[in-house]
Homo-oligomer: A and B are copies of this chain.
């Protein structure tokens, strides 16, 4: 059905995956579709709307289809939250351009609200007081998106190897805690393990909030 719009969206997603978010210009998308840039404006409102649609497309694949949900739903609340968190991280790793967009646009599309509803449901089952559920949903999602964004943007790859030339002078001089921790400062090659440990801690935090 509205084939043209889907075609535009596919082109934009392909360009973002290949060349990053900066590569997604109306002109580049138009060229890939085989049309002049102005022709796009019949089908998408403008660039902002196109970016929204791109995020929406990713979010729609985040959860299993509605049908299979209430049928099985086998896991405990914490396993359901962990699974969703891992899915978000995997999505951002596959499509790093999505990270900044996830932070800037509120979750108003049906798919986004559906994901939030899954989290609410798990938090309720965990025993979190209704009053506290929205806050803990925001805490959890902030952490998960923040971790994934940091990972793909390179914020975690600072450590001390210092890729930029921040001319030596002090290897650790003036930073006593860094000096003491030198054996542990190398960034773990396996951020998946760190993500799991963090997730575990945050799920315990939720458990603590439930038993209060």
Q: Could you list which residues of chain A lie within 8 angstroms of chain B, going by C-beta atoms?
A: 66, 99-100, 102-110, 112-114, 116-118, 120-121, 124, 130-131, 133-135, 138-139, 142-143, 145-147, 149-150, 153-158, 162-164, 166, 174-178, 180-181, 183-185, 188, 194, 197-198, 201-202, 204-205, 208-209
Contact = CB atoms under 8 A, between A and B. Distances in A.
Given A107-B155, A135-B198, A208-B204, A180 B146 contact: no
A153 B103 contact: yes
Given A146-B145, A184-B133, A106 B177 contact: no
B204 A138 contact: no
Most buried by B among A66, A149, A155: A155
A110 B143 contact: no
Rank and list the top 10 A-B pairs by shortest CB-CB distance, nearest first. A146-B146, A106-B158, A120-B177, A142-B146, A121-B177, A117-B175, A104-B153, A117-B177, A205-B205, A107-B158
A150 B106 CA distance: 9
A154 to B, nearest CB: 6
Nearest to A146: B146
A175 B109 CA distance: 13
27 contacts: A66-B174, A99-B103, A100-B100, A102-B155, A103-B103, A104-B154, A104-B155, A106-B156, A107-B155, A108-B164, A110-B166, A113-B175, A113-B178, A116-B178, A117-B175, A117-B177, A117-B178, A120-B180, A131-B184, A133-B181, A134-B181, A135-B198, A138-B150, A139-B201, A146-B149, A201-B205, A204-B205
